[in-house]
């Protein structure tokens, strides 16, 4: 469940609440019972776990192998081929 950050504009307290995405925002401050509470937009973080995720969040690009590149057919009569 996400952690949401709130600020009470009455007592200036900033607090966090663990809520479901579908839960209603908190409207009353738990510290001073003030009703002037607003939900803050704050930076979030997450960790990707399991197979298929990379430590840098990006896959390393494979370098093409010589066998993967199509070879040109030799030119007829060209001395450099």
Domain map (residue ranges) of the chain = 3-40
- Cα distance between residue 2 and residue 32, in whole Å: 24
Burial class (CB in 10 A: 0-12, 13-18, 19+), 19: middle
Is residue 69 over pLDDT 60? Answer: no
pLDDT at 56: 63
pLDDT at 61: 61
Residues 6-22: tens digit of each pLDDT:
999 999 999 999 999 89
pLDDT at 27: 93
Residues 19-58: tens digit of each pLDDT:
998 999 999 998 999 999 999 987 777 777 777 666 665 6
pLDDT at 67: 58
pLDDT at 76: 66
Beta strands 14-18 and 3-8: pairing type? antiparallel
Burial class (CB in 10 A: 0-12, 13-18, 19+), 8: buried
């Amino acid at each position: 469940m996400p952690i949401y950050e709130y600020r009470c504009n009455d007592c200036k307290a900033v607090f966090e609440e663990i809520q479901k995405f579908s839960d209603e925002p908190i409207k009353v401050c738990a510290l001073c019972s003030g009703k002037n509470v607003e939900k803050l937009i704050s930076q979030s973080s997450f960790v990707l776990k399991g197979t298929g995720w990379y430590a840098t969040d990006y896959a390393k690009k494979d370098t093409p192998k010589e066998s993967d590149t199509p070879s040109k057919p030799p030119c007829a009569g060209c001395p450099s081929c």
